[in-house]
């Protein structure tokens, strides 16, 4: 079974990052997850056109204009839809160009100011121009990276998250799913796994209903499956891996999230068994996964 990334959720002091409400959205502004996306995955059941985004905007604008000019589409609704699509494309194009220019220019400005502050005078002029050039080159690289990150995002990743029927694990599963990925959820309880799948499928349905255009296309391949597994049981873990591979083809990202803290209370109140269970789950058993 191929796997590109494995992530362990450790007992870092991440609860301090929790917002005051009940919803845990771990640094995932605009559905971005701290886990780096796997860029090598290509789905077998999706055509190459999904991924080849070269000239995406030009193509989209052309097709929107072409749609407008078709006589069959000259009804009010269709025309409005086409205009909305054109507007959406032009807006994202402007956004990319804007980002690119801002990154490029700000890098140049930072370098320019840096040289001025470090005693730039007439003899430094040449150096300043070189610094501008350097800024532009670096800015171009960073800007292109940002653009590529958005435009050429590799399509649905297969993600397995242990302990994903509540808490952080479930939040991660939801974020991956609503980013268009295919997710395997699991925990020791069959019932919780079933309920979690139902809940996440409902979330996906709602997101699909609300989405339009490219956002809808992105969600089209999202899917959630699950099976019960106790991560302290090697046989169960093997079953889990096989299940995910059978269901999704293979796994890109495996998140070792299952864990327990036995409740937030003073350490002295913990029994030996509590301590053993917490430590075994968070250290020893992740090696089984």
Ligand X SMILES: NC(=O)c1ccc[n+]([C@@H]2O[C@H](COP(=O)([O-])OP(=O)(O)OC[C@H]3O[C@@H](n4cnc5c(N)ncnc54)[C@H](OP(=O)(O)O)[C@@H]3O)[C@@H](O)[C@H]2O)c1
Residues in contact with ligand X by CB under 6 A are 9, 11-12, 14-15, 162-169, 187-189, 192, 229-232, 257-261, 281-282
Sequence-ordered alpha helix ranges (H) in the chain = 56-69, 76-117, 125-151, 167-177, 190-210, 213-219, 234-248, 272-279
- Quick one: 70 or 190, whose CB is closer to ligand X? 190
- Give every strand in the sheet of 5-8, ordered side by side: 5-8, 253-256, 158-161, 182-187, 223-228
- Quick one: 85 or 281, whose CB is closer to ligand X? 281
- Nearest to 5, CA basis, from 171, 180, 181: 181
Q: What are phi and psi of 67, to 5 degrees?
A: -60, -40
- Quick one: 73 or 278, whose CB is closer to ligand X? 278
Residue for token pair 């089984």: 288
- Quick one: 26 or 120, whose CB is closer to ligand X? 26
Residue for token pair 């009940």: 22
CB 166, min distance to ligand X, A? 4
- Quick one: 168 or 248, whose CB is closer to ligand X? 168
Q: Which residues contact 185 (CB under 8 A, 6 or more apart)?
A: 161, 164, 165, 169, 170, 173, 193, 196, 197, 200, 224, 225, 226
Two tokens, residue 194: 């079933």
CB 9, min distance to ligand X, A? 4
Q: In sequence order, what are the beta bridge partners of 185?
A: 161, 226
CB 277, min distance to ligand X, A? 8
CB 7, min distance to ligand X, A? 11
SS3 155: coil
CB 65, min distance to ligand X, A? 49
Separation in Å, CA 57 to CA 39, 88, 148: 21, 10, 13
CB 28, min distance to ligand X, A? 15
- Quick one: 16 or 30, whose CB is closer to ligand X? 16
CB 89, min distance to ligand X, A? 39
Q: Whole-angstrom Cα distance, residue 193 to residue 244?
A: 14
- Quick one: 143 or 259, whose CB is closer to ligand X? 259
């Amino acid at each position: 079974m191929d796997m590109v990334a494995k992530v362990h959720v450790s007992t870092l002091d991440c609860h301090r990052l929790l917002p005051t409400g009940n919803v845990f959205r771990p640094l995932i502004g605009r559905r971005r997850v701290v886990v780096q996306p796997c860029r090598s995955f290509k789905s077998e059941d999706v055509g190459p056109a999904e991924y080849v985004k070269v000239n995406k905007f030009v193509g989209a604008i052309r097709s929107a204009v072409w749609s407008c000019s078709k006589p069959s589409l000259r009804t009010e609704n269709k025309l409005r839809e086409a205009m909305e699509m054109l507007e959406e494309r032009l807006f994202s194009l402007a956004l990319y160009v804007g980002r690119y220019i801002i990154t490029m220019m700000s890098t140049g400005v930072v370098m320019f100011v840096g040289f001025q502050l470090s005693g730039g005078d007439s003899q430094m002029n040449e150096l300043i121009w070189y610094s501008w050039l350097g800024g532009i080159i670096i800015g171009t690289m960073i800007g292109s990276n940002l653009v590529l990150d958005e435009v050429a995002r590799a399509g649905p990743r297969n993600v397995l998250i242990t302990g994903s029927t509540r808490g952080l694990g479930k939040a991660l599963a939801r974020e991956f799913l609503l980013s268009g990925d295919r997710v395997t959820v699991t925990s020791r309880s069959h019932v919780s796994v079933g309920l979690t799948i139902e809940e996440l499928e409902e979330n996906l349905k709602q997101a699909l209903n609300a989405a339009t255009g490219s956002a809808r296309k992105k969600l089209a391949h999202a899917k959630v499956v699950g099976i019960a597994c106790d991560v302290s049981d090697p046989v169960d873990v093997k079953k889990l891996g096989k299940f995910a591979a059978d269901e999704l083809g293979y796994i890109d990202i495996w998140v070792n999230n299952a864990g327990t803290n036995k409740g937030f209370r003073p350490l002295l109140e913990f029994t030996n068994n509590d301590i053993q269970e917490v430590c075994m789950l968070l250290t020893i058993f992740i090696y089984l996964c």
